[in-house]
Structure 1
Amino acid sequence: MASRKAPYAAPVALIASRPEQADPAIHRDSWSEDVAGWQVAGPPQNLHLSDVYWSVAPVVGASVGNGRFTLSYRHYFMSVNSNHRNIPPLWSDADVLEVKVKF
């Protein structure tokens, strides 16, 4: 009677996980708007409005990887320093989901 070998089981790679990360994030907020024909009292006029400033806010996230692939998630708290601005931002925070492949 011939002996039978057990089917080959490929080794399972461990998923490398990076614990939650928390760092400061420096970002530049900017916007501009052109208003044509604005009129309150008097003749119409064209206006250009803009605002630019640098801000530091926290960012938190986590990532997991397996061999060549890494998946990471980050949440940027961009509204933290925008409360004292004359014009509030269009959005308060941002979420980033990133997939990395190493070649």
Structure 2
Amino acid sequence: MLDETALARLRELDPDGSLGVLGRVLETFRQALGRDLERMATARDGGDLKTVGEVAHKVKSSSASVGALGLSALCAEVERRVRAGDTADIAPRVQALLAEGQRALRAVASALGT
């Protein structure tokens, strides 16, 4: 699920792996994504679409950087729709984003060997 090209770019920052850059980046992403998904679900449940859009914006970039491209694309769509005020039928897209976020968490855990 994680794009190998994105992971390769991260590995280039620490070619011999001695600094543990990839592991640290993935662990930081895992922790932040868990918090962000909870925040988004709470905002969704409370009808706070502004926060949903803000969280989608934040997760969009970080997920792309670790290769969770499907998650990044869903974030971009949700963010765009919230900004445009096109939210009449946004609930299924937010649900898809949250589900994809859970898949990304599992993929990162697998990559970390946890």
**TM-score range relative to shorter protein:** under 0.3
Structure 2 length normalisation: TM-score?
0.24
Q: Which has the higher strand share?
A: 1
With the length of structure 1 as denominator, give the TM-score of the two structures: 0.26
Greater fraction of residues in helix: 2
Max Rg structure: 1
Higher relative contact order (CA 8 A, sep 6+): 2
